Every structure is written in structure tokens, then in C-alpha cells.
Amino acid sequence: MKKSRDRKPKRGSVAPAGSGKNLIRGRFARARLPEVEAFTASLPFDRRLFRHDILGSIAHARMLAKVGLLTPAELGAIISGLEQIRVEIESGSFKFDIADEDIHLAIERRLIAIAGAPGLKLHTARSRNDQVALDLRLFLRDEIAAVIELIEHLRRSLIAVAKRHVETIMPGYTHMQRAQPITLAHHLLAYIEMLSRDRERFEQTAARMSVMPLGAGALAATTLPLDRRMVARELGFKSVTANSLDAVADRDFAVDFLSASALTAVHLSRMCEEIILWTTAEFGFALLPDEFSTGSSMMPQKKNPDLLELIRGKTGRVIGDLVAMLTVLKGLPLAYNSDLQEDKERVFDALDTLKPALDLTAKFWPALIFEPARMKAAAGGFALATDLAEYLVSRGMAFREAHEIVGAIVREAIGAGKSLEDLSVADLRRHSTTFGDDASNLLRAENSVAARTIEGGPAPSTVRRRLKELERR
């Protein structure tokens, strides 16, 4: 049964001493309306910050003891109480009360109940404004590390698949039209490059975020002799914020995180879109694995890429989280405003969308069943036209002239119902005597790919070197 101190006061009464409300409502004669409490409370979602709130509070308490604002006995009681609260929340025995408004007051209210008078001193020289700024940075630091590991898992997954398909020929596309032959490994390496940039962006976000805001107070710091750098060292921050107004108003780090998340989600969406295309009957480059597919409620023959479609669709959520956060910030004056309470739901939603998408995509790639023969067949046709033009250029012809000649060859072949592979050297020489007997080697996709040994190109030899570089890293 809930103790009397946790009971909601009647409307128009003063909250009882020791209640969650009374921690910050000494100036008020009447309790808030229940519907106002429900609308303004962030406790239903910010409770997931509890570990980081406790971590920050312990560091703050140790600093208060160091500067003489807590006795050793008071410090011990506070730390013991906070550790007990952590266990209670993790075990599910902690009693949350919407009247506490947020996780910060919920923990403080419980600490006072456990530790008594020492608990009343924990909030010395601290505001919820700088407290939540600290908690969110600590939370995101851990979560960014988890996201980076998921990105690395996906990169390793793609590397493993690429190693099996260094010589698997496929068409490369521009404007969704077949363009030139490449290899599947080279195609996958393009995704790996995207993911490498994604990792870099998250690392940069974490680096910029490593600035400790606690000590800024509500907006104008404090008259008490705090040691902010001690707290920063204990919590692993590289520096402390230089301006107390900026410390509590800044959510650039959340925007950085959401921006990196949105772009990573876009990269996943592009992957999913291509796999969806490749697994259609029209492309036939790959088959959907059963364990990642769904069926139709009406059509028994269907195998649908629902997972890929949902990852593609949920990208809109992450982009929306970024836009929502920017919209919240765009009209805010300094310093703290309650609009900033919206930051956590945006961050949480992006995380809860991105992390499983990364994990599932990493598991999906190795299970995808490719059709190399179908892919190679699609890489033929007129995709070798550029090779013919470059052959002429290598023998001294201007590129525009070579382009015109090969265009005429393609036009003639189409008229005759042939592909370039069907042409003989004699057919080529009718358009230009610059073509030699070795020109026939140009009309095979594997030769075209093997010749593209330039750094960053799709030649198997180049791709193998790149894969070894990635594995060494």
C-alpha cells in the first residue's frame, strides 16, 4: 500500500511535506490539476535515463563532499541510497508517481525517503536544467557506442558477402538503366563506404558531445564553490561548458545525433530498395530467404520483402525525428524552455528505430541468395559500349569522335536485333579501321571489369586489395 506521503493532495490543498510535488512546489498554495500533471510529465518516457541520472548524481555528490558541502557520512548515505534506487528500478520494484514529473524528481523523492536529511542536500547547486542536459549526454554517449558497433557489424557482414563475390559480374546502373559491367563485391563496397562515413559522423557527434554541462545551474551557475572539472573527469568528459546559458539551452548534440541517424537510415533504405528490386522476377538477381520473408493472406505463391519495406518506410520516422527536433529549436530564446522536453522522445524514437534496422540488415545480407548467371547475363548487351570508345581513345582518337562512332555501332546493332557481343571485329572495322584484332576481347563483360584496375575501380584485383585494407582496419 502506498505510504501517505505519496498520496495525491486534494485540489486546493498544499502538498504534504516529503511528497514528490513538494520538492519544487513550495511557492504554490494549490496542487496542479491532474490533467496538467499528465500533460506536462516526462516521467513516462524519460525514466529510461535513470542509470545516467544516478551516475551523474553520484559524481555530483562526491564533488559536493570534496568542496565541503557534504560530510563524508552524508555522502555515504546518498551514494548508498542512489545505488538502492538503481536496483529497485532495474528489478521493477520502484514505485513511479506521475506527480514526480520526471525521472530526476522521482529519484530525488525516493532518495529522501531512503536517506533522510542527506537526501535533501543532493540538489545543492544543481538545477533540473543542467541535470537533464548531463543525463542526455551520458545516455547518448552510451547509445552512440552501441550504434557504432551495430554499424561495424553490418560492415563486417557486407565484407564477408563481398569476399564471396569478387568475380560475380553484374550490371551497374545510372538512371535505373544498365550502364557498365561491375562486380557484386564492388557494389557492396559502395555501401561499406557509406557506412564508414556513418560511423565517422557518430564518432564526431560523440566527440563534440563530450562537454560537461553540470554546474550551469538553471542558467546562471551558482555562488557555491563547485569543482566542475572534478565532475567532468569522473564522468569521462573532455571539458566543461564555457557558458552557463548555452549549457542548458544547447541541444545541438541531439541534432547531430539525429542527423547522423537520419542519414544512416537513408543508407539502409537505399540498400533495401535495391534488394527489393533485385529479388523481383523482372530482375531475378537474388532470391529472398524464407526466414526474412512473409506471405500473402490471399495469394499462396507470394514471398514478400516486408522486412525491407518496413526498414525503408521507417526511415521516414527517423527523418521526421530530426525535422521535429529542429522545429522545436528554431524559435526558442535562451535559456531553458520546456519545449526542450521534446528532445528525449525524438532521440529515443530514432534509436528504437535505427538499432533494430541495423541489426536485421546485418543478418539479412548473408542469407540473401544471389543468382550469378542471371546477373552476368544482364551485364552484357550494350553495357560494353564505353569500352569500345575507350579502346579507340587509347589509340589516339578524340573521345567525342570515338563516342560518335560507337553510338553508330550501337544504333546499327539495335536495328539488326543484335547485341555488341554478337558483333565481329569486321563489323567494328566497318565503322573505324582503328579497331584491331584484339578488339574482340572488349566484348566480354569479365574482361571489361578486369581492365578497370584504377584505384577505386571494380577490377577484382583492386577489390581484393580494398577488402584486405578493410579487414586490417
Element (H, E) at 435: none
Q: Could you identify the residue written with the cell 542536500?
A: 121
Q: Which residues are registered as beta bridge partners of 370?
A: 286
- E strands of 112-157, at which residues? none
> Does residue 286 sit in helix, strand or coil?
strand
Which among 13, 296, 394, 461 is annotated as catalytic?
Answer: 296
Residue 308 to residue 273: CA distance in whole angstroms: 7
296 is catalytic: yes
Task: Compute the chain's Rg from CA coordinates.
Answer: 31
Largest CA distance in the chain: 101
Residue 285 to residue 278: CA distance in whole angstroms: 5
For residue 361, give the nearest of 316, 413, 305, 407 by alpha carbon. Answer: 305
Residue 378 to residue 95: CA distance in whole angstroms: 63
Q: Could you identify the residue written with the cell 498520496?
A: 7
C-alpha distances in angstroms, 303 versus 75, 164, 290, 309?
62, 25, 8, 13
Which among 4, 175, 297, 338 is annotated as catalytic?
Answer: 175
Give burial (CB, 10 Å; 0-12/13-18/19+) of 233. Answer: middle
Q: Could you identify the residue written with the cell 572495322?
A: 429
93 is catalytic: no
Residue 209 to residue 204: CA distance in whole angstroms: 8
Q: Which three cell numbers stand for residue 384?
A: 560494353
**Please, what is the end-to-end C-alpha distance for the chain in angstroms?**
57
What is the β-pairing status of strands 286-287 and 369-370? antiparallel
Total count of residues recorded for the chain: 473
236: left (phi over 0), alpha (psi -120 to 50) or beta: left
Q: Which three cell numbers stand for residue 166?
A: 569478387
Active site residue ranges: 175, 296
